[in-house]
Structure 1
Amino acid sequence: MSEERVGFFTDTSVCIGCKACEVACKEWNAIPEDGLTLTGMSYDNTQSLGASTWRHVAFVEQPRTGTVEQPQAESVQAPQAEPPQPDGRTELPLAQGALAPESPAPVDGGAPEMRWLMSSDVCKHCTHAACLDVCPTGALFRTEFGTVVVQEDVCNGCGYCVPACPYGVIEQRPSDGRVFKCTLCYDRLGAGQEPACAKACPTESIQFGPLDELRERAALRVDELHKAGVPDAHLYGNDPDDGVGGDGAFFLLLDRPEVYGLPPDPVVTTRDLPTMWKHAGAAALTLLGGVALSFAAAGRRRA
């Protein structure tokens, strides 16, 4: 890579579910419309990532449970002209819907009070990307920014990358069979601009920048939330020693990954390929040896 690796840090504790990222992604990348039918999945009209949904805002409804104390009102309301931090960013509050204080019992047998968990999902741009390993045409490649991009004019629609992705991100478009996914706005990066989704996010839930810097910032944010009484706040996808070598797009979550539709322990699906090829080669040599011995034995009998 000739450039510093960049990526996304998505802080779900300040996501308000506005879907500005979904709209900005579709507009900039000219992605076909979808999500126009009622799904019965609350406000989640797009449901999952796919060939025509490169950003997906998940809406998770949960009964308010736990023993987290309700913070003072001023700590959860939108900041009024907060002074900038040393890095030029404003201090982020905690989205009110993400809090999970212990609630009183429902009145008159009514439904329990609910809380919202919202998160904008995207391709993870894995360090060890299985989709790159299985692509036979080179349509998938790693850019100078460390991101993973599909070349639409090179993809032949074989679909090998679809089951290879441990996150289920990649999908073939039914109209022509080719695969499409987030490019992290490769064209904008080349022009020195940030991706459209991060540009459009009004709460700085989606943060873009050098990956090492984002990891440091994310660790500080987790400490901040723990001190604010949110013990379940943790990072997902930021560990370089995980099953995919760390993600280029990682998240701060307030519950288990499965709650957000994310695999708890993703593993690069092609990790066993070298061992498999080694065993296959050994088996082939053994078979050839057996065939050679059979021909030799037959020759001796004829003699």
Structure 2
Amino acid sequence: MSEERVGFFTDTSVCIGCKACEVACKEWNALPEDGLSLTGMSYDNTQALGASTWRHVAFIEQPAPQGRTRLPLLDGESGTAGESAPGSDMRWLMSSDVCKHCTHAACLDVCPTGSLFRTEFGTVVVQEDICNGCGYCVPACPYGVIEQRPTDGRVFKCTMCYDRLGAGQEPACAKACPTDSIQFGPLDELRERAALRVDELHGAGVAGAHLYGHDPEDGVGGDGAFFLLLDRPEVYGLPPDPVVTTRDLPAMWKHAGGAALALLGGVAASFAMAGRRQR
């Protein structure tokens, strides 16, 4: 990588669920409309990440914890994200999900055409004109981010606005976020900022605040898009301990090679024995 690695830090404690990031992403990347149908279980009308939804704001309704939790915004004022309404025993958790741009990206490992590549900014991008629609990357992603578009079978996902990065601009979603829930910048700097934010929330009594995907020692080598969560990852539809799905490939090829050599040895021995019997 010739450039400093950049990424997203999404602070869900200040997300208000406005979906401005979804709209900005669709507008900038000219993504098609994808149904906007309600599930009957949520007010969320985009439901999940997909080939035509590269940013997805999840609406999570759950019983509120005991007591009223007031969350400080980034400027030190008290906020309402993740807080229960007066007289209500429910609370809303909002979170804008996106491709994680993993350090160890399984989608890159399995792509047979080179359609998926890592950019000079450390992000992972799909080249639409090279994708052959094989779909190998879909099950390889530990987060279930990548999806094939039904109309042509090719895969699509967040590019972190690669074209904007090349022009020195921040991604459209971060630019549109009114609360700075989505923050963009150098990844190391974002990690430091996120750690300070967690300490701030803990000091305000929000004991459940924690970071997800920030650790370079985790199963995917750390994410280029990581999150501050107020509950367990499973609540947000995220795997609790993601692991790069291709981590065992070298060992598997080694065992496969050993098995193939053993098979060839057995075949050779059989021919040798047959030759001796004929004599």
TM > 0.5 between the two?
Answer: yes
Distance apart, 1:51 and its partner CA: 0.1
Number of equivalent positions: 279
Question: 1:62: which partner in 2?
Answer: 62
What amino acid does structure 1 have at the position aligned with 2:55?
A: R
Question: 1:21: which partner in 2?
Answer: 21
Question: Which portions of structure 1, spanning 4 or more consecutive aligned residues, are displaced by more than 3 angstroms?
Answer: 92-95
Structure with larger Rg: 1
| Structure 2, unaligned runs of 5 or more | none
Rounded to whole Å, the distance in 1 between the matches of 2:230 and 2:138 is 29
- Structure 2 contact 69–206 (Cα < 8 Å) conserved: no
Change beyond 3 A, Cα 1:268–1:92: farther
Rounded to whole Å, the distance in 1 between the matches of 2:148 and 2:267 is 43
Rounded to whole Å, the distance in 1 between the matches of 2:273 and 2:69 is 85
Which of the numbers 116, 127, 143 marks the counterpart of 1:140?
116
Q: What is the root-mean-square deviation in Å for CA atoms of aligned residues? A: 1.7
Question: 1:9: which partner in 2?
Answer: 9
Question: 1:127: which partner in 2?
Answer: 103
SS class of match (1:115): strand
- State the Cα deviation string for residues 88-124 of structure 1 (Å, max 9, x = none): xx625454131369x8xx7xxxxx5211100000000
What amino acid does structure 2 have at the position aligned with 1:36?
A: L
1:53 corresponds to 2:53: yes
Rounded to whole Å, the distance in 1 between the matches of 2:78 and 2:213 is 21
Question: 1:81: which partner in 2?
Answer: none
- State the Cα deviation string for residues 228-255 of structure 1 (Å, max 9, x = none): 1100000000000101000000000000
Rounded to whole Å, the distance in 1 between the matches of 2:3 and 2:126 is 19
Which of the numbers 218, 232, 238 marks the counterpart of 1:242?
218
- Structure 1 contact 140–150 (Cα < 8 Å) conserved: yes
Question: 2:75: which partner in 1?
Answer: 91
Distance apart, 1:43 and its partner CA: 1.8
Distance apart, 1:40 and its partner CA: 1.4
SS class of match (1:97): coil
Rounded to whole Å, the distance in 2 between the matches of 1:136 and 1:275 is 20
1:301 corresponds to 2:262: no
Rounded to whole Å, the distance in 2 between the matches of 1:299 and 1:174 is 57
1:159-198 correspondence to structure 2 within 5 Å: 159-198=135-174
Rounded to whole Å, the distance in 2 between the matches of 1:248 and 1:160 is 22
1:259 corresponds to 2:235: yes
Change beyond 3 A, Cα 1:139–1:284: same
Change beyond 3 A, Cα 1:267–1:94: farther
- State the Cα deviation string for residues 13-53 of structure 1 (Å, max 9, x = none): 00000000000000000000124223213221011000000
- Structure 1 contact 13–94 (Cα < 8 Å) conserved: no
What amino acid does structure 2 have at the position aligned with 1:165?
A: C
The percentage of counterpart residues that share the same residue type is 83
TM-score, normalised to structure 1, is 0.89
Distance apart, 1:65 and its partner CA: 1.8
SS class of match (2:139): helix
- Structure 1 contact 244–266 (Cα < 8 Å) conserved: yes
Which of the numbers 233, 236, 254 marks the counterpart of 1:278?
254
Which of the numbers 170, 195, 207 marks the counterpart of 1:219?
195
What amino acid does structure 2 have at the position aligned with 1:208?
A: F
Distance apart, 1:63 and its partner CA: 1.5
SS class of match (2:81): helix
Rounded to whole Å, the distance in 1 between the matches of 2:120 and 2:159 is 12
Rounded to whole Å, the distance in 1 between the matches of 2:193 and 2:129 is 37
Question: 1:37: which partner in 2?
Answer: 37
What amino acid does structure 2 have at the position aligned with 1:14?
A: V
Change beyond 3 A, Cα 1:94–1:207: farther
Rounded to whole Å, the distance in 2 between the matches of 1:95 and 1:150 is 38
- Structure 2 contact 49–145 (Cα < 8 Å) conserved: yes
Which of the numbers 192, 207, 210 marks the counterpart of 2:183?
207
- Structure 1 contact 6–210 (Cα < 8 Å) conserved: yes
Distance apart, 1:62 and its partner CA: 1.1
Question: 1:115: which partner in 2?
Answer: 91
